[in-house]
Chains A and B, each alone.
Chain A
Amino acid sequence: MRRILAILLENEPGSLSRIVGLFSQRAFNIQSLTVAPTEDPSLSRITIATSGDDKVLEQIVKQVNKLIDVIKITDLTERSHVERELILIKVLAMNDKSRTEVKRITDIFRGSIIDIGKQVYTIQLTGDAEKLNAFVETLSNETEIIEAVRSGCVGIARGEKALRV
C-alpha cells in the first residue's frame, strides 16, 4: 500500500543522508522524496512516498523517529490529507494540429504552458500523482514527450491537524 510520510527534522548537515541511508540500509522503499527548509530555517521538512504493509510501515516510522535529528514523523495517509506534485514536461509541438491539441489537453487538466520553443512547448501541471499520470499518458498519445520532471509529492493533513514543533 502506498503511504506518504511527512518528517520534521533538524536542518543540519547530514540529516538528509541519515534518512536516505536508513531507507536503503533496511531495504525500505522510496518512491519519491522531497525536502526543503520550513518557514523556521532551523527545521527541514521531508515528504517521502513509500509502500509497504502495516508491519513494514510501523518499522519505518519507528526507525525514522529513532534518528536523533528527527523531531516528528507522521503518516499522512492514515487520515484525510491533501497531496500535490508538480510536473514540468517538454513535448514536441511542431505543427498547428499538435499545438492546438497540446493546448487543449493542458487546459482540460488545468495546466499551463510556461515556455515555448520553435518546436516545443513546456507545460507545468500540479495535482496528485494519479492526475499527473493521466496527463502524461494523454499527452503521449498525442505527441512525443521530450523530457519530463516530477517534483515528488508533498502533502499536508486536512483540517486543524498540523505537523509542527
Chain B
Amino acid sequence: MTTQQFTGAEMVVKALAALKVKQIFGYPGGTVLDIYDALFQQSDVEHILVRHEQAATHMADGFARATGEVGVVLATSGPGATNCITGIATAYMDSIPMVVLSGQVPTTLIGDDAFQETDIIGCSRPIVKHSFNCRNVEEIPNIIAKAFYIARTGRPGPVVIELPKDLLMPMSKGEFHIEIDVKMRSYNPSIKGHHKQIKKAVKALFEAKRLVVYSGGGIIIANASELLTELVEKLDAPITNTLMGLGGISGTHKNFIGMLGMHGSLEANKSMANADVILALGARFDDRVTNNVKKFCPDAKIIHVDIDPTSISKTINANIPIVGLLEEVLQQLLDELDATNFTPNKEERTSWWQQIQQWRDVNSISYVQEGEQIKPQRVIEAMYKITKGEAYVCSDVGQHQMFAAQYYPFAKPRQWINSGGLGTMGFGLPAAMGVKLAFPDSHVICVTGDGSIQMNIQELSTCLQYNLSVVIVSLNNRSLGMVRQWQDMVYGGRHSSSYMESLPDFVKLAEAYGHVGIQINHLDELDEKLTQAFNIKNRLVFVDVLVDEKEHVYPMQIRLGAIDEMWIKKGVKA
C-alpha cells in the first residue's frame, strides 16, 4: 500500500489548515502559483487578496495584534518578498507573531540572479525572529509548524519561510507528516521567574515609599492585563503605560496616570522621575520613554520583568532583573505578596498619591478649542464618546497617533493597535482591515493623517472586495504634521517638504473606490456627522476631518533632558 503523495504546494495549504489557520493575506506571482492553485481547490484556508504586499503584512499584523494568533502572509519571490520588508520590520519591532511564506526561484536557479530572485532570507535577517529555507518537499509541513511555534511563543516575532518553486510543483511529491507539538533543543521559551528574584522584588515592593508600575506591550502580548490590574490594586500603586502598553490596564482605572514618555502625561513622567522603586513589566526603556538615559530616574531601584533577557539592562540597568513569562511572574509576585501578608503603608501611599495629584492638577493632557478650526484632539474625544470607548482604534503614524493615544482611554488590551517601535506610516488602514476581518461586528477605526493614509490608500479596493467596513477618520491638517511640529520647534519654523500641497479630494477618492466619503469642516457639524459615519453599516466610511494645521502635540519632553522635563504647551515648561 502506498501512502498518498502531495506536492509541496498542497503541503503548504494542508499544514496551514492543520495549524487552524482560517485566513492568509497575500498576492500571487510566478513562484507561488502552485500554492495559489492549491488554495483554489480547497476551502479550509481563505486567501485575502491585497493590492500591495506591504499591506498584506500589516493586515496580518493587525489581525495578530487583535486576536493574539499568528498572522500569515503569502508573497511571491523578488519584488513580492521585498515589498514585505517594511511590514516584517514593523512586526519585529513590536513583537508580533507573523509567518511570511515567500516564494523563491527553483533550487536549480538559486544564485544565478534568476528572474525575480532575491535572497529574502538575507534581506530579512536582521528583522526576523527566525527564518527557514526549504530544500526538500517533505520537510515543508514541519518547517511551517516550527515557524508558527517560534513566531507565537516566548517574545513573539515574525518568521520568514522561503519556498523554492521546484518544491511546490507537481514534479516533486512526498508524504505529508506534521508534528504540531514542536520541540527544539535550542529553543525553550516557557520560563518562570527565579524564586530568589521574586523574593527580592517583593522585598523592594514592601520597602517602596514612592512606587510606580511601568508596563508595556509585553502585558498585552502575554494576555496578562487582569493579573496586572490585580497587582496594581493590591499594591495601590500608580501605573503608567507605554504607547504599546495602553489598554494593559483600563485607561479609566483610578490608579492609571496616563502614558509616559515623549508625549506622555506630566504625572506619569514626574512619578517616574520621583519614584524610589519602579516595577517595569514587559517594557523596554525605549528612548522615546527615557529621554536622556544619563538623567533617567536617579533615585529609583528598578525591578524589570521581561521574557527577553536582552531587554533587561540594555539601556537602563536593572537592580532586580526577572526573566520570565509575564503571566507566570505576575502570578508568582501576587502569591509571594499574599504569602507575606502585604499591605501598603497607608501613610506613605497617601502622601505619594497627594504628590501625584498635584501633578495631575496641571492637566497636562488638555487643549483649548478656540477659533473656527476643529482641534484634532476634539475629534478623538468625539470618536470616544460615539463608540463608548469600545472601538478598536488602529492608528497610523504622526500627530494624530499621539492624539489618539492621549484622548481615547482604552478599556481593554488589544483595542489600541499602532506601530510603536518602527513608526510605520501606512500601517493604519491595512492593520484596521485585519482587525475588521477578525471582528466584523465591532467598530474598527483607522485614525490617520493626510500623509499616512496615502501610503496604503490602494487598499480601499481590497476593502470593497471583502466588504471591510472600517471607519477611516483622517485628521487632515494638510501637512506632515509631526514633521512640521519638529520643524517649528527645532528647525526655526522652516517647513521643508512637510506640506502636502496637492492633496486629493478624499471624499471623491473614497467614492471612486466604491465607499462612502464624508467631509467635516466645521466644529458644529463634527458630532453629528461623525455619529452619522458610525451609523452607516456594512459600508466603509472615509471621514475627512479638516483640523487646525497649527496644532502641536503637547506635552512634549525637552530634548536631552530628564524624563520629566517637558513642554506643557507652547513656551511653557513644567
Contacts and interface: CB of A to CB of B under 8 A. Distances in A.
Contact of B125 (A10, A13, A18, A68): A18
A16 to B, nearest CB: 12
Interface string A38-67: 000000000000000001001100110110
A59 B125 contact: no
B133 A68 contact: no
A68 B186 contact: yes
A95 interface: no
Contacts of B187: 68
Contacts of A55: 313
A92 to B, nearest CB: 40
B164 to A, nearest CB: 13
A59 B309 CA distance: 9
**A interface bracket (residues with beta carbon within 8 Å of B):** 20 to 34
B308 interface: yes
Contacts of A165: 185
Interface in A138-165: 165
A53 B121 CA distance: 32
A4 interface: no
Given A68-B150, A68-B186, A71-B185, A17 B122 contact: yes
B185 A14 contact: no
Given A21-B125, A25-B126, A59-B314, A66 B150 contact: no
A21 B122 CA distance: 9
A58 B313 contact: yes
B310 interface: yes
Nearest to B159: A68
A9 interface: yes
A69 interface: yes
A62 B186 contact: no
A123 interface: no
Interface string A97-125: 00000000000000000000000000000
A70 interface: yes
Contacts of B314: 59
A106 B310 CA distance: 46
Shortest beta-carbon contacts, A-B, top 4: A68-B130, A62-B310, A71-B186, A62-B309
Contacts of B184: 68
Interface of A: 9-10, 13-14, 17-18, 21, 25, 55, 58-59, 62-63, 65-66, 68-71, 165
A17 B130 CA distance: 12
22 contacts: A9-B186, A10-B186, A13-B133, A14-B125, A14-B131, A17-B122, A17-B125, A18-B125, A21-B125, A21-B126, A25-B126, A55-B313, A58-B313, A59-B310, A65-B309, A66-B308, A68-B129, A68-B130, A68-B186, A71-B185, A71-B186, A165-B185
A14 to B, nearest CB: 6
A104 B548 CA distance: 85
Q: Which applies to chain A's interface (DSSP): helix, strand, loop or mixed?
A: helix
Contacts of A62: 309-310
Interface residues of B, number: 19
Contact of B186 (A17, A58, A69): A69
Contacts of B129: 68
Nearest to B186: A71
Most buried by A among B150, B310, B314: B310
A63 B310 contact: yes
Given A10-B186, A70-B186, 14 more contacts: A13-B133, A14-B125, A14-B131, A21-B125, A21-B126, A25-B126, A62-B309, A63-B310, A65-B309, A66-B308, A68-B129, A68-B150, A69-B130, A71-B186
A59 B313 CA distance: 8
Contacts of A9: 186
Contacts of B309: 62, 65-66
Interface in B305-361: 308-310, 313-314
Interface string B99-122: 000000000000000000000011
A25 B127 CA distance: 10
Contact of A66 (B122, B131, B310): B310
Given A62-B309, A62-B310, A14 B186 contact: no
Contacts of B308: 66
A66 B121 CA distance: 18
B162 to A, nearest CB: 10
A10 B310 CA distance: 21
A118 B5 CA distance: 64
B75 to A, nearest CB: 19
Interface string B182-196: 001111000000000
B371 to A, nearest CB: 48
Nearest to A65: B309
Interface in B355-402: none
Contacts of A71: 185-186
Contacts of B122: 17
B97 to A, nearest CB: 14
Contacts of A25: 126
